[in-house]
Every structure is written in C-alpha cells, then in structure tokens.
Amino acid sequence: MRIITGSAKGAKLETPDGLDTRPTAERVKESVFSMLQFEIENRRVLDLFAGSGQMGLEALSRGALSCTFVEKNLDAMAIVKKNAQKTRLIDRCKIINVDYKDYLRGARGRDKFDIVILDPPYSMKIIPEILDSLVKFGLLNTNAKIVCESEDDTEYSHEGLETVRHSKYGRVYITLLSKKGE
C-alpha cells in the first residue's frame, strides 16, 4: 500500500495486523481521488474509521489543509501516527483515539469538514446513522463531499445531502455525496 501522488508520492504505508481493519484497495482509492481531484486542495478532511490512515494521508499528500483521523483501535491508531510521520505529513494531522459516536457528539459546534471519508467495518451497517450525525451536528461545510465505502449496493442518501455518484469496484461500492447548498 502506498501514497499514489502528491508531496508523499510513492511512500509505502504500514497496515495494522489482523482482520479488524480492511485497507481500501488501490484501485478503489485511485477512483475515489479521481472523483475528488478538484475538491481537495486546502480542504479540511475527516477520516472516520481511519485504519492505517491511507485515505486521509492521500488527501494530505494531494494538498488538503488538515486531516482529523478518528480510530478506536489503539494498534491501528499507532500505525496512523507512524504512517503520518513516515510521509512527513504529521504536522497537518490530528489523530484521535475514540469511538466514532463519541467523536461526532464531541465535535458538535467545534469542527467542520469539507471532505469526510466513511469506511466503517462493513458488518456495522452504520453509514446512515453517521450521515445523520454529520448533518444534525453541523459538521459539514457548505458543499462538503462525503465518500461512503460499503459492500452492499445501497445508494446512501439523506435529506441534507445529494448523491453525486454511486459506483461499483469489484465487491466494493462507493457513494459520493455532497452537502446541499444553503
């Protein structure tokens, strides 16, 4: 697993051991960042369920202003930090070891993001709940983009969001949503 392009291009990233995390496939990552290519520079990113941190680090390498990595697993969080140091992007990272629900509630009125990456364990089936929290807690800037990765063909939606794209990559589905203008 590596950073595809940008300031940390080619950097090899470590992944957490075990089956608790599932790194996003290179082909899927390339497709996601092709969808976001004009939306990344100087944007604030939230990588919820960060795993190895590869998606947030890719965004930083491509010019994102900052990335908040939220990861409950201590071993995975240590890998995120190690990868952020290895890519020399650590100064633009905020790495938080907490459950996603606690983070979302605590971020209310404090944090706002332009890009949100949602790649929870597929078995949790919680993307609709997270979309609701992002909108309800006011965590999205105007025209924010949300990337949802899942194993089922659900085209995620929410009344405050509009679907930009829904695509299949092998056994993985990506839904790209945008916050409706205010």
Residue with tokens 């807690």: 137
Which two structure tokens, joined as six digits, stand for 83?
Answer: 């990868």
Tokens of 76: 């995975």
Please, which pLDDT band fits residue 166 given cuts at 50, 70 and 90? very high
**Cβ neighbours of residue 51 closer than 8 Å, sequence gap 6 or more:** 15, 16, 21, 22, 23, 71, 76, 79, 80, 119
Count Cβ atoms below 10 Å from residue 62 Cβ, excluding itself.
21
**Segment 124-165, tens digit of pLDDT:** 889 999 999 999 999 999 999 999 999 888 888 888 899 999
Domain parsing of the chain, residue ranges = 26-179
pLDDT at 19: 47
15, 23 in Cβ contact below 8 A? yes
Are 157 and 137 within 8 A, CB to CB? no
The most confident of 7-16, 27-36, 87-96, 156-165, by mean pLDDT: 87-96
What's the confidence (pLDDT) of residue 25? 73
Nearest to 144 by CA among 117, 104, 169: 117
Tens of pLDDT, residue by residue over 19-40, are: 455 567 778 888 899 999 889 9
3-state secondary structure of 123: helix
Q: Provide the CATH topology of domain 26-179.
A: Rossmann fold (3.40.50)
Q: Which among 150, 147, 152, 151 has a CA at the least distance from the CA of 134?
A: 147
Which DSSP helix (H) or strand (E) runs through 10?
none
The alpha helices in the chain, defined as continuous H runs, are 26-36, 54-61, 74-86, 100-107, 127-136
Whole-number pLDDT of residue 155: 82
